[in-house]
Structure 1
Amino acid sequence: MIYQPGAAVKLNQHNREGYTDFVSAGPQNGSWNVIRSEFDDLLLTYASKSGVSVFQETKVTEIHFEGPDNIRPVKASWLAQNGAQGQIHFDYLVDASGRNGLMSIKYLKNRAFNQSLKNTACWGYWSGTDLYKPGTTRENAVWIEALTDESGWVWFIPLHDGTTSVGVVMDKDIASRKKKLYDIENHDEKLHAFYLDELKHAPGAIKLIGNGVLRTRPGESAIKTTSDFSYCASQHAGDHFRIAGDAGAFIDPFFSSGVHLALTGALSAALTVAASIRGTASEANASRWHDSKVGTAYTRFLIVVLSTYKQIRNQNTAIMSDINEDNFDRAFELLRPVIWGAADVDKTLTQEELQKTMDFCCNVFTPTDPEMYEAVGARLDPALLQPHGPILTEVEIDKLLDQDDFEAKAVLSKVNARKPIHAMVDPEMDFASETHYGLNAVIERGRLGLVASAA
């Protein structure tokens, strides 16, 4: 794995890129660029070593239900690659079947696609590329860049095997129209040409690719592609079952939201099942807690991602039907006083509130860098730049600064936006402090579960 110290993000071709230093508050805050198959194997191997029975090359073909309303899963039929088949009985089911989403698609039939994020992605692996800021503390940072025609964005991610993953994410309708212009019959050849042409709309990525060579393997297309990947189930839990990760929801490749939601859902599933087994919460309340937790985490990330696309595509609206109002209320209750100046505003979600929330989140991506932070910090009260300080309204920020101090406005607005968003997506802070249906999580080895809120 390659240690990732930060991320360079260029959402507007007329501005310089911004850089977020993950490790400024300590090296433990860095992340890792991983090859997905190796990461999956690492998790599976660790689970096996921890005592989990693992059956590889075996798929679940059917889930069987019991109970008064026939809604409690009790056993599953399976089929192995060698032709063997059988059934397995269980007390609880955690569906982590990925995009196949067995429970959501086949049985609950409750998956809905986000109309605001109807995208397609294509990517390939390059060797011999350059790096972002080699020889500095920013080496191996990922590069994210908006396309010049505002149709999408590009990722550039160095990997430990010497290759670099370079992908293009684009509006699906725009991509379809562009592909029709190619007079190429072969699908793989058309995709290859389309991919290379779209990269030209990301001059920063092209510069980083430099003299790199696109990796090809016999019998495989050099370019991978997928679409219709932004969705969410309306229910993530029920009687003795939980849904976690891509099986229930996926938003977008941006910000690695998939792995965040997967680990959030996995931890929530584990602690709510443990609570049900240990009797610290009823099964009904435990499943409600998981459903609320996953829905809230999803909505938070969705709004942040939509705020990014608002900048990339220079659009001002999101589709209201993509937003679950109850989840929005739980997800952004902290921001309501900041955005509206009062805590007792009308709780009905409106297009105006949605846009104001997205505008606030947009400040997370204000182009800044550590040098700018240092310069601004020298002339402001250091307490204003602390990550856990009070969240300020835009009016309060303006009162603190000179009218023409644009650098200070950019830095303070970014710090201000990161305060609640960091708290909302930080697993330790989030799980420990957030209450759902009068219950709080206990994240402690040997005591994993739920307890009644002290409030």
Structure 2
Amino acid sequence: MTTLPPKHSQILVIGGGPSGSYAASVLAREGMDVTLLEAAQFPRYHIGESLIPSARHYLRFIDAEEKLVQAGFKHKPGAAIKFNQHKREGYTDFVALGIHNSSWNVIRSQFDDLLLQHARSCGVAVHERTKVDAVQFEVKDTCRPVSVSWTSMAAGGEGTAGTTTFDYLIDASGRAGIMSTKYLKNRHYNESLRNIAIWGYWRDAGTYGGGTSREGSPWFEALTDESGWAWFIPLHDGTTSVGVVMNQKTFAEGAQEASLPSSPFTPAAAPNPRGSMMTARYLAALGNAPGVLDLLLAQGSMVEDSVKSASDYSYKATEHAGPHFRLSGDAGAFIDPCFSSGIHLALTSAMSAAASICAAIRGDCSEERAGKWHTERVMTSYTRFQLVVLSAYKQFRNQAEDVLSDIDEDNFDRAFAMFRPVIQGDADVGIRLSEDELQQSLDFCAHLFNPTTPEQHAALARGGEIASDLLDVNKPVVGRAALDEALHVSSSGSARIDERGHDGRERGYEEEAKLVLDKINARRVVQPEYAISNMEQEAIGGYAVRLQRGSLGLVKVEELGESRVKVGV
């Protein structure tokens, strides 16, 4: 017999994806009464298979990291990126340059189910096949939700309707975003990222870095027609996720052509390649990704009927909280598949939602202050990754048009504070960044994709002529003058990076060192996101997270002491 949701729950979570499951697990472990309603029956398919290593730290906090280790997912030691077809690819571990760590490429149906079952084990009352139909509010014209109406589908297909009241609501309903789209109506799409993603699955594909320490790393590269980029992500079941992301307008213009696009694949490699326009367009687009072609054409064959697509997925809500509710994960915002930030932002926002709710319940601050803190915390993380993604697209498209149109909200200014000393020195500037400053900020972030390797970073460190602070991604962003001075002092030294350029000629020490230092400096933009401990070290609006099991919440900066806290930007 199917157990129905309760009449009341202290905290109700809508959605059992990574963000909902994580927030529910955290709160249940804090002793809260938590109910989770999920419309689907897990496991269920989802895209987004490449994790960045911050997931380790978040899962460790809820004692789920070992479950991920034991799940057998594909080991991801790093990522190879070729965002300029005229240069060699770069390689980085995405954690911290020079620090060994790793992550996984996951089959999302299995990964998401693992997190949902972990929520159950933490004491969350999980109800699958239970769809939230509507949210009810306290009184007319207010934004405080007090109950939801749901329909629970029994095994035989018969639906049972009911209502659950709650003290707090977390909307983790994914792209559907019931609170943002149906009630708040505050979702805004990123016009410069109006892309379409098309992907499929392949068997017997090649392996990037086979037989080396890089084996298992995903491969990303810019498309030769400057319309977008491609991904190649090996999975532990022997298949490989291969996708392209391109401008929607470019895709639509191609779709209007009378003839089907040509494909570099033989029928044996791609079954029924002309059986559908979407599959044909997908295969043709892969023709603009020479690195992917090299990995596929040897013996790879596409899994039949595996091609899927998604569009209109880049958006953000203007507010992520209100009286007694929080938005979490894709229900509030999603940027782009580029840089694999989806799961990170899902877990970050889930922790933020949980900590802010605990803070209000435990009296750390008012509910209003806790809600505002959550919005500021989510938008700070979102904007850091947005800068990186927009910088990448500026490279993809080889132009600056459109990418600035999404950076237009007052609460984004904090994310640019770190650039001011770099861009303007000590000059007196206004509150808002100018268009020129924004362009320079994007150019600064683009250094993250410099074509360097761990070997180059290690060689520069071994030379001993560059100050260790300049090689540490955890240090503050530094200005161009400091980097230039370091390069000038060291260029006459004996240290040398023996990496050779694409044309086979040895590059000069100073040129190689500049690439490394610029990449490390750019890395510092998103480095605060890569360890959960930074949530207790980085103050947002005067508060940081009290990251302690059993007393999770928010604490004022002055109570922590200046030595432990850095002010958020």
Is the Cα contact below 8 Å between 2:474 and 2:527 reproduced in 1? no
Q: 1:309 aligns with which of 389, 393, 398?
A: 393
Distance 1:293 1:174, change over 3 A: same
Indicate yes or no: 2:518 matched with 1:407: no
Is the deviation greater in 118-127 or in 385-394? 385-394
Alignment counterpart, residue 163 of structure 2, candidates 87, 110, 113 = 87
Equivalent residues in 2 for 1:354-373 (5 A)? 354-373=438-457
**1:67 & 1:279 partners in 2: Cα distance?**
25
Structure 1 counterpart SS, 2:136? strand
The alpha-carbon deviation at position 373 of structure 1 amounts to 1.9
Judged with a 3 Å threshold, the aligned counterparts in structure 2 of structure 1 residues 226 and 188 are, in CA distance, closer, same or farther, namely farther
Describe how 1:424-443 pairs up with structure 2 within 5 A: 425-443=529-547
What amino acid maps onto 2:121 in structure 1? Answer: K
User: Residue 171 of structure 1 is aligned with which of 226, 237, 247?
Assistant: 247
Distance 1:25 1:289 in 2: 33
The one of 477, 487, 491 equivalent to 1:391 is: 477
Structure 1: gaps of 5 or more residues: none
Q: TM-score, normalised by structure 2?
A: 0.76
Indicate which of 376, 381, 384 corresponds to 1:297.
381
- Which of 196, 215, 218 pairs up with 2:303? 215
Question: Is 1:180 equivalent to 2:265 in the alignment?
Answer: no
> TM-score, normalized by length of structure 1?
0.94
Match for residue 64 of structure 2?
none
Partner of 1:62: 134
CA distance in 1, matches of 2:427, 2:538: 18
User: Could you tell me how far 1:396 is from its partner in structure 2?
Assistant: 2.3
2:554 aligned residue: 450
2:341 aligns to what SS in structure 1?
Answer: helix
Of 124-133 and 410-419, more deviation after overlay is shown by 410-419
Give the SS at the match of 2:356: helix
Q: Counterpart of 1:285? A: 369
In the TM superposition, what is the alpha-carbon distance from 1:317 to its structure 2 partner?
A: 3.6
CA contact (8 A) 1:306 1:318 kept: no
Deviation at 1:26, TM superposition (A): 4.8
On the 8 A contact 1:299/1:327 being kept in 2, the answer is no
Residue 126 (str. 1) matches residue 230 (str. 2): no
| Equivalent position of 1:248 in the other structure | 332
Counterpart of 2:107? 35
Instruction: Say whether the 8 Å CA contact 1:159–1:165 is kept in structure 2.
Output: yes
Q: Report the aligned-residue RMSD.
A: 2.0
**CA deviation string 1:9-28 (max 9, x = no partner):** 0001100000103576555x
1:111-152 Cα distance to aligned partner (Å, 9 max, x none)? 110011010010000010011011100000010000001000
Give the secondary-structure state (helix, strand or coil) at the position aligned to 2:219: strand
Q: Secondary structure at the match of 1:431?
A: helix
Question: Which region of structure 1 is more displaced relative to structure 2, 75-84 or 112-121?
Answer: 75-84
Secondary structure of 1:131's aligned partner: coil
User: How far 1:188 moved relative to its partner?
Assistant: 6.4
- The corresponding residue for 1:203 is 290
Tell me the amino acid that sits aligned with residue 375 of structure 1: A
Residues 129-182 of structure 1 deviation map (CA, whole Å, 9 limit, x = unaligned): 011011100000010000001000000000011100000000000011112225
Identity of aligned residues (%): 51
CA deviation after TM superposition for structure 1 residue 291, in Å: 0.9
Once the two structures are overlaid, the 10-residue window that deviates more, 118-127 or 393-402, is: 393-402
Structure number with higher helix proportion: 1
For residues 188 and 173 of structure 1, the distance between their equivalents in structure 2, rounded to whole angstroms, comes to 23
Judge conservation of contact 2:192–2:405 (CA < 8 Å) in 1: no
Q: Distance in 1 between matches of 2:295 and 2:553?
A: 47
**Separation (CA, whole Å) in 1 of partners of 2:177 and 2:248:** 22
SS of 1:92 mapped into structure 2: strand
Mark the CA change 1:188 to 1:434 in structure 2 (over 3 Å): closer, same or farther: farther
Q: Could you tell me which residue of structure 2 aligns to residue 381 of structure 1? A: 466
| Cα separation, partners in 2 of 1:336 and 1:188, compared to 1, 3 Å | farther
Q: Of the candidates 212, 215, 222, which is equivalent to residue 146 of structure 1?
A: 222
State how far apart, in whole Å, the 2-side matches of 1:188 and 1:83 are: 38
- Distance, in Å, in 1 between the alignment partners of 2:375 and 2:531 is 17
- Mapped to 1, the partners of 2:99 and 2:415 lie a distance apart of 27
| Higher deviation after alignment, 428-437 or 14-23 | 428-437
Equivalenced residues, count: 449
- Measured in 2, the distance between the counterparts of 1:339 and 1:371 equals 30
Read off the aligned partner of 2:291 and give its amino acid letter: G
Report the secondary structure of 2:532's partner residue.
Answer: helix
How many angstroms does 1:299 deviate by?
1.3
- Structure 1: distance between partners of 2:250 and 2:418: 37
Please show how residues 318-337 of structure 1 align to structure 2 within 5 Å.
Answer: 318-337=402-421
Which residue of 272, 297, 308 corresponds with 2:356?
Answer: 272
What letter corresponds to residue 132 of structure 1 in structure 2?
Answer: Y
Q: Deviations over 1:169-220 (max 9, x none)?
A: 000000111122253699961111111111011110111113111002xxxx
Aligned CA distance change for structure 1 residues 156 and 338 (closer, same or farther; 3 Å): same
2: distance between equivalents of 1:233 and 1:188? 39
Q: 1:13 aligns with which of 68, 74, 85?
A: 85
Question: Residue type matched to 1:242 in 2?
Answer: R
For residue 345 of structure 1, report the CA deviation from its aligned partner.
2.8
Q: Is the 8 A contact 1:192 1:222 kept in 2?
A: no
Q: 1:344 to 1:444 in 2, by over 3 A?
A: farther
User: How far 1:326 moved relative to its partner?
Assistant: 2.6
Give the whole-Å Cα distance in 1 for the aligned partners of 2:401 and 2:422. Answer: 21
